[in-house]
Amino acid sequence: MRLASWGAGAILIDQYSTPTIVRIFSYIGGGLLGFGVLALLAFGRLFAQQDPSGTSQLLVASTIHLLATGGNLLVAYLPIVAVRTYTSLPEAAGFLLLGFQATVAYDLLLLGETFVVRLVPTAEEETAE
């Protein structure tokens, strides 16, 4: 997530120059809003209790997050261009939108990445055959 967040922030700096404190808080606020929306969608409420002790195992390669990070940065440029070109929204809105997008897109792409990795047989599964 850090690479996606820093990369999206770099795109914002490229497009808008050095951000003001309002823009910085807008970006962070968008990210926090994204986490809140994802939590509500996944669990139905913010204060639900979850048991993380699953039995599934993932490949070590899935920790690289190439799809989640790279895909997110490819998508990150689009909302900024849309806000700057097609709306009269203040620049802080672009920071809020990209903070939200970076969080949500990263987590959704990570979910897809995790699904794909589970389709790949592990070394233990290959030797068992």
- Kindly report which listed range (2-6, 32-36, 56-60, 111-115) carries the lowest average pLDDT score: 56-60
Lowest mean pLDDT among 3-12, 16-25, 46-55: 46-55
C-alpha 98/C-alpha 88 separation (Å) is 16
Tokens of 121: 């047989």
Whether the predicted pLDDT of 127 surpasses 90: no
> How many Å apart are CA 96 and CA 110, to the nearest integer?
21
**CA 75, CA 120: separation in Å to the nearest integer?**
26
Residue 19's H or E segment, with its range, is: none
Give residue for tokens 């959704």.
108
Residue 3 has pLDDT above 60, yes or no: yes
> Using one digit for the tens of pLDDT, what is the confidence trace for 93-108?
989 999 999 999 999 9
Helix ranges (DSSP H) in the chain:
2-16, 21-43, 66-86, 91-119, 123-128
Mean pLDDT of the chain: 83
Contact (Cβ atoms closer than 8 angstroms) between residue 30 and residue 100: yes
pLDDT digits (tens, 9 = 90+) for 22-69: 999 999 999 999 999 988 888 888 777 777 666 556 566 666 788 888
Output the pTM of the full model. 0.76
